[in-house]
Amino acid sequence: AQTVTQSQPEMSVQEAETVTLSCTYDTSESDYYLFWYKQPPSRQMILVIRQEAYKQQNATENRFSVNFQKAAKSFSLKISDSQLGDAAMYFCAYRGPDSNYQLIWGAGTKLIIKP
Amino acid sequence: GAVVSQHPSRVICKSGTSVKIECRSLDFQATTMFWYRQFPKQSLMLMATSNEGSKATYEQGVEKDKFLINHASLTLSTLTVTSAHPEDSSFYICSAGDRGFETQYFGPGTRLLVL
């Protein structure tokens, strides 16, 4: 069965600095999708970034980028120039190729931004 | 694009009453919708998957007679918590997926408090 592991329950970073959140996963599939979602205090889940496993190029969205290491089954999220609005829970999620969109979730990492 | 609404955002009810939560995809047709439950400081727990025009698929341990799901159209799914009890108090989140997106988009959630 697929699993997703986020080993950092909490991370803190100084405003304007860079922080990296870790995520590892386990799967026997070769084609799949990986996601990072953000859940601020409002509890609205917001898609941050998405990566297709068949793409070698790491996905980027403005200040957010991923380091996708397929062989190592690692999918870390880098946030550059951290802003106070980035404070939230961050969840890593996996979707298999034929899983009817079902997501396997990590436990989440709470990101604290220090002003 | 890809906006999902959820109503109500918050509901307080007496024990024994039923509560209906609506989830709507506003700008796309959602062939698949998901219902999650989230306990404080935890990740999302999938309750059921609903496909338009067919019966919902419930996860193990979720009572289908307790949590009634109807996905009658491509833009609306409802979750009815029947005969609610205090232990049903939680945060319920829906999400929707479109075959073209390969991604789940989330509603803002409903906070249910059963007295």
Interface A–B counts its CB contacts (< 8 A) at: 47
Mean predicted confidence (pLDDT) in B38-52: 91
pLDDT at residue number A97: 83
Percent of chain A with pLDDT over 70: 98
Q: What is the pLDDT of residues A38-78, one digit of tens each?
A: 999 999 999 999 999 999 899 999 999 999 999 999 999 99
Whether residue B79 contacts residue B20, with contact meaning beta carbons closer than 8 Å, is answered with yes
Of the residues A45, A48, A89, A110, the best mutation for testing chain B's interface (the one with the most B CB atoms within 10 Å of its CB) is: A45
Across the interface, whether the CB atoms of B106 and A50 are under 8 A apart is answered: no
Mean predicted confidence (pLDDT) in B94-99: 83
Considering only CB atoms, which chain B residues are within 8 Å of A108? 42-43
Q: Phi and psi dihedrals of A101, rounded to 5?
A: 75, 0
CA–CA dist A91, A112 (Å, integer): 14
CA–CA dist B66, B64 (Å, integer): 5
Mean pLDDT of chain B: 91
Percent of chain A with pLDDT over 90: 91
Res B1 pLDDT > 90 = no
- Tell whether A95 is within 8 A of chain B (Cβ): yes
Across the interface, whether the CB atoms of B97 and A101 are under 8 A apart is answered: yes
Res B101 pLDDT > 60 = no
Mean predicted confidence (pLDDT) in A104-112: 97
Handedness of CA B56, B61, B64, B69 (dihedral sign): negative
Q: What is the DSSP string of B81-100?
A: E-S--GGG-EEEEEEEE-TT
Indicate the residue type of B104: Q
Across the interface, whether the CB atoms of A91 and B44 are under 8 A apart is answered: yes
What is the pLDDT confidence band of residue B29, given thresholds at 50, 70 and 90?
A: confident
Whether residue B18 contacts residue B11, with contact meaning beta carbons closer than 8 Å, is answered with no
Q: CA B54 → CA B31, B36, B66, B70, B74, distances in Å?
A: 10, 19, 18, 9, 11
pLDDT at residue number B15: 97
| Alpha-carbon distance B68 to nearest alpha carbon in chain A (angstroms) | 19
**Which residues touch B52 (CB under 8 Å, ≥6 apart)?**
B30, B31, B32, B71, B72, B73, B74
CA–CA dist B46, B86 (Å, integer): 20
Which of A44, A91, A108 comes nearest B109 by C-beta? A44
Cβ-in-10-Å burial (0-12, 13-18, 19+) of B91 comes to middle
Mean predicted confidence (pLDDT) in A69-94: 97
SS3 call for A100: coil
Res B96 pLDDT > 70 = yes
CA–CA dist A35, A51 (Å, integer): 6
Mean predicted confidence (pLDDT) in B1-5: 85
Considering only CB atoms, which chain B residues are within 8 Å of A105? 43-44
pLDDT at residue number A102: 84
| Alpha-carbon distance B16 to nearest alpha carbon in chain A (angstroms) | 27
Which H or E run includes B71? strand B67-73
Residue of A nearest to B100 (CA): A101
Mean predicted confidence (pLDDT) in B46-59: 89
Mean pLDDT of chain A: 94
pLDDT at residue number B51: 83
